[in-house]
Structures are given as C-alpha cells and as structure tokens.
Amino acid sequence: MSPSVLQRIASGDPAAVRECIDQYGPLVWSIARRLSRTPADAEDATQEIFLDIWRSASRFDASQGSDKVFIAMIARRRLIDRLRKTSAEPPMDPVEALETIAWADPGTACETSIEAEQATRALAELRPEQRQVLELGLLHGLSQTEIAARLSMPLGTVKSFMRRGLIKVREFMNVDAERVSARI
Amino acid sequence: MSDTRPQGQPDEAMVDLLIKQVTEGLSPAEQRALDVMDSELATAYLRDLERAAAGVTLAGSTGGEPLPEALSARIAQQAAEHFAAAEHSAQPSNVADLSEVRAAAAEKARVQPPLAPSPAPAPVRATRFGGYGWLAAAACLVLAIFGWERSPPPLPPVAVVAPPPVAPPPPAQPAPPTAAEERAALLAKTDTLKIPLGATKDPAAAGVSGDVVWDPVTQRGFLHFAGLAPNDPAIHQYQIWIFDAGRDKRYPVDGGVFDVPANAGEVVIPIRASLMVRKPAAFAVTVEKPGGVVVSGREHVVALGATS
C-alpha cells in the first residue's frame, strides 16, 4: 500500500506538501468558512490549520483513520479554539443557510471517505430534530445555548440530542462490528 | 484499529464536558474540572468524539469550494518557510541562533513591558516568527525551571506587614472579615506557613515584595504583596500557582486569578487551590490571559516564593 500524503509529508517529500494543499485545501477552506466569523478570519484560520497539519503529519496513523478525517479533526480543533478566543458573536453562516447543507449520500459518500459514509449512515438513523442539533453545532459552530435559543428548545434537550447523536456516530465509526450494531 | 483504550466508561459529567470541548470548547473552569478526572479515559473518549465530529463534518462538506488562489499561494509559501526553518533548526550550528533569539527576546521584553496592551496576533504572515517567539518563550521557561531547581533567586527584603487594623466597636451585624483580617487570623495559627515572596527579572515584577501565608490543614492561604504592576483584566490577569512536592512539578496547582488595580499599595489576595496541596514547595505568580490558563507557559513569572 502506498504511503498517504501525510505520511509522505512526514518523510520529507516536498511534492506531497503541494499535493496536500491541492487535495485538501477545498475541504479545509469550506470548514473554515463555516466556522469563522468573517472571510478574513477564515483565511487566517486556514493558514493556521495548514501549519498545524505540517506540524502534526508525523503523528498521523493510517490505522486510526483516513488522511481526510485526520485533517478535519485538526481543522475543527483549531477553529473551535479560535471561536472560543473571540467574542460571543456567532459564526458568519446565517441561519437561513441551514437548508443548504447537503449531506453526503450514503451510497456515494465512500467516494469522499469511509468516515463520511459511516457518519452519514449514523445520521440517517437520527430523528430530524436530533440531526438538526448536530448540524447547528458541528457544521455551523453554534454553542448548545445558541442552538437552544434558535430552536426554542430546552438546553437539556439540546445537550441530550447532541450527546446521543455524537455517540451514535462514534459507534458507527468504530470498526468493532458489535459496537456498531449497538444501542441508542 | 489498535485497541489499547483504557477499561471503563466515562461518567455523564465527563461525557458532557468532552462533548462541549469537541463542539464549542471549554471555559477555564470547565477545563479545570475535566483535568481532575481520569485523564487516560478522557483522552481516549475525546479522540473518539473528535473523530465522530470530524466524520459529521466530512458528511456535511460535500463539494467544497476551491481554495482561493492567493490563499493557496500563501499557504505554500508558509509551508516552504516552515520546513526550511525546521530543517535549519535541526542543524548543530543553530546553537548560535538560540542565543540570538534569547538576546532578541530580552531586548523585546525590555522595550515592551508584558502588561502593555498589544495588538491581536496576526497569524497570516507571522507564523514563522511566531515559532521563534515560542522558542524564546520555551528558553525562558527552561531558564526559569533551571534557576528554580538549582538556585532559587535571592529574595529581596519583605516589606513590613502592616498590623491588622484595630477592630472597631462591634456593629449590630458584624461585617464579614476582610482578606487582611483572615490572613492575620491564619497567621495566628501554629501550623501556618509564611513564605517570603520575591520578584523575578520580569519587567512587571520590579519592586515586588511580600509573602504567602498558607495553612496546610484547612488548605487556605493568602498572597500578600506590594509593588506588582497594575493590570488591565481585559488583556491580562495574574494567576497563582502552588508547586506541590507530591506532584509533577510541570503541573503546579492553580491557585486562582486576580487583578491589581492602579495605586493598589499593599494587596492581600485569597489563594483558591483547585486541588489538594499535600506539601507546598513553592508559590508563583504568572501573567496570563484573562480567566487564567490550565497549564502556564511561564513566559512571565513575576513573583516566586519557596519553602526552605
């Protein structure tokens, strides 16, 4: 099996750096745009995320997941850290844009990554309001308090939906088949 | 996937904190609460939740828009600088560079007092130099720890502590005791430790003197000092740290944050230890971001006091 782009970066292959930017730039950019307050913030964040990627490439373990999920994890960490450090304003995504979220189709999501397919299948098993809580929290960067206000939903319900939803996705993403078929 | 995860399931409180960390980040208080939980279990579960959140993110990120060309070029340039710097720092000749960085950091500290308001960091083109700044900070940390362990800096004479005020005639409903009064009461106890507090070379520490009073039985204590520079709480706060001989010295116990107003004179601050301190070995005050931090980078240690 040929080494992944992150493994090649870690081994000092200069061509892999350009390849990584070309291959994963759109993904990082789209996540940064959603979870940043302004376009300028998104640009700064994207640069910081790639710097994190260069620094973390040597820690990538292909047995733990794909390049793509590793990069998405790094991007989320950096963006949440930035959101936390700035004011209480919500990210720039207007709530009207919520309908524009296009979940990957379970049948084709494997073209993007196995993890996306697993998450999509898990999301399909959630009730619509549970899925909406995950969308607002994970894709739009709203806090649980903000979600409760937006959906006129008790905070406790938001917490419960977020918890059950993430645990559901977590179960689907674990390779242990017995755990995948488990509860909730 | 290799399964070396710890046994057991996280309790509800841990799961709630980890989910909040993954979705919106934790406040300093929440982070401190998480820090006292089973770290191995929390780390393993956090990794799973981060993967799950990343999976959802990927599932909702179909057809991402292309990276703007100018941004792509900047990232490529930044990568070239990053890897060139990494390669350069791996060479032995870099020892000379480190001393240059130290000198530059010292000069910067002399020119810019740490409590002066500073503009927000500009990550766009400053990342390479941010790396050098961190190197300088790390060098300061090493020096601080090295100095701490080998030869604690001589402490200046402690200012004479003003005696507690004479109690006024008892009112109908007595007011709660002030921090100075509580400190005085603590000093009267036989088990109480009194540790001189001295300044460091940090610009904000010039002229600092005082002491720490600590009761190991009740785990209560007070920081008493004069001469610490006033701070703007919106920019920086002071944070107290307790080094426990029974714990890893890299992770001192958080003793709470405090502010110094202008023209404060002598100040008495209650110490609020977040964890049980078994054998206090030293107390320190650092300058941190508002709200404090979980683990200090120790870039600005402004007061130190060690038990003998």
Give A152→chain B minimum CA distance, Å.
Answer: 19
Query: Which of B1, B22, B59 is opposite residue A103, by nearest beta carbon?
Result: B59
Between B117 and B168, the higher pLDDT residue: B168
Task: Please indicate whether, in this complex, the C-beta atoms of A113 and B65 are within 8 angstroms of each other.
Answer: no
Query: Which of B23, B64, B71 is opposite residue A27, by nearest beta carbon?
Result: B64
Look at residue A26 in the predicted model and tell me its pLDDT: 92
pLDDT digits (tens, 9 = 90+) for A73-118: 999 999 998 888 775 555 544 444 334 444 445 444 334 678 888 8
Please say if the pLDDT value at position B83 is more than 60. Answer: yes
- If you search the block for the tokens 């956090």, which residue do you land on? B46
Bridge-partner residues for B303, per DSSP? B199, B285
pLDDT digits (tens, 9 = 90+) for B235-256: 889 999 999 887 777 778 888 8
Task: Please indicate whether, in this complex, the C-beta atoms of B53 and A63 are within 8 angstroms of each other.
Answer: no
Query: Which of B48, B59, B78 is opposite residue A170, by nearest beta carbon?
Result: B48
Interface test with A, best of B24, B69, B72, B78 (most A CBs within 10 A): B24
Q: For A91, which residue in chain B has the nearest alpha carbon?
A: B24
Chain B residues touching A160 at Cβ < 8 A = none
Give B117→chain A minimum CA distance, Å.
Answer: 17
The encoded tokens of residue A42 equal 């998104």
Q: Is B284 left (phi over 0), alpha (psi -120 to 50) or beta?
A: beta
| Residue B144 CB partners (closer than 8 Å, separation 6+) | B200, B298, B301
- Asked if the C-beta of B119 comes within 8 angstroms of chain A's C-beta atoms, the answer is no
Instruction: Tell me which H or E stretch contains B304.
Output: strand B301-306
Per-residue pLDDT of chain A (184 residues; tens, 9 = 90+): 688 999 999 998 889 999 999 999 999 999 998 888 888 889 999 999 999 999 999 989 888 888 999 999 999 999 998 888 775 555 544 444 334 444 445 444 334 678 888 888 888 888 888 988 998 899 888 889 989 998 898 999 999 999 999 999 998 887 433 443 333 2
Interface test with B, best of A76, A81, A108, A138 (most B CBs within 10 A): A138
**Chain centroid, CA B108 distance in Å:** 21
Query: How far apart (Å, rounded) are the C-alpha atoms in residues A148 and B21?
Result: 18
Chain B residues touching A143 at Cβ < 8 A = 23-24
Angle at B259 between CA B300 and CA B122, to 5 degrees: 50
Give A175→chain B minimum CA distance, Å.
Answer: 7
Look at residue B246 in the predicted model and tell me its pLDDT: 74
Please say if the pLDDT value at position B142 is more than 60. Answer: no
Question: How many CA atoms lie within 13 Å of B154's alpha carbon, on the beta-carbon side?
Answer: 2
Query: Which of B16, B55, B63 is opposite residue A116, by nearest beta carbon?
Result: B55
Chain B residues touching A25 at Cβ < 8 A = 66-67, 72, 75
Q: Judge whether B88 and B94 are in contact, CB under 8 Å.
A: yes
Taking residues B164-183, report their average pLDDT.
68
Q: Is B219 left (phi over 0), alpha (psi -120 to 50) or beta?
A: left
The encoded tokens of residue A88 equal 């209480």
Please say if the pLDDT value at position B3 is more than 90. Answer: no
Give B68→chain A minimum CA distance, Å.
Answer: 9
Query: Which of B15, B51, B83 is opposite residue A65, by nearest beta carbon?
Result: B51
Query: How far apart (Å, rounded) are the C-alpha atoms in residues A125 and A106?
Result: 12
Give A109→chain B minimum CA distance, Å.
Answer: 7
Query: How far apart (Å, rounded) are the C-alpha atoms in residues A176 and B1?
Result: 9
Look at residue A71 in the predicted model and tell me its pLDDT: 95
Interface test with A, best of B3, B12, B61 (most A CBs within 10 A): B61
- Asked if the C-beta of B84 comes within 8 angstroms of chain A's C-beta atoms, the answer is no
Bridge-partner residues for B286, per DSSP? B239, B301
Q: For A139, which residue in chain B has the nearest alpha carbon?
A: B57
Look at residue B179 in the predicted model and tell me its pLDDT: 85
Taking residues B112-117, report their average pLDDT.
36
Task: Please indicate whether, in this complex, the C-beta atoms of B56 and A50 are within 8 angstroms of each other.
Answer: no
Taking Cα atoms as reference points, which of B132, B119, B133, B138 lies closest to residue B81? B132
Instruction: Choose the weakest-confidence range: A52-61, A173-182, B91-100, B262-271.
Output: B91-100
pLDDT digits (tens, 9 = 90+) for B35-76: 888 888 888 889 889 999 999 998 887 666 788 989 999 999
Look at residue B176 in the predicted model and tell me its pLDDT: 76
Q: For B81, which residue in chain A has the nearest alpha carbon?
A: A51
pLDDT digits (tens, 9 = 90+) for B186-236: 888 888 899 998 888 888 788 888 999 998 877 889 999 988 888 888 888
Look at residue A1 in the predicted model and tell me its pLDDT: 67
- Asked if the C-beta of B262 comes within 8 angstroms of chain A's C-beta atoms, the answer is no
| ipTM for the assembly | 0.84
pLDDT band at B148 (very low <50, low <70, confident <90, very high): very low
Q: What percent of chain B has pLDDT over 70?
A: 67
Chain B residues touching A159 at Cβ < 8 A = 16, 19
Q: Decide: helix, strand or coil at residue A36.
A: coil
Which segments of A35-176 does DSSP mark as H helices, in order? Answer: 39-56, 67-85, 114-124, 128-134, 144-151, 155-173
Look at residue A179 in the predicted model and tell me its pLDDT: 41
Look at residue B125 in the predicted model and tell me its pLDDT: 35
Taking Cα atoms as reference points, which of B303, B299, B268 lies closest to residue B283? B303
Bridge-partner residues for B236, per DSSP? none
**Chain centroid, CA A84 distance in Å:** 17
Instruction: Tell me which H or E stretch contains B244.
Output: strand B237-244
Q: For A24, which residue in chain B has the nearest alpha carbon?
A: B67
Residue B94: Cβ within 10 Å count: 13
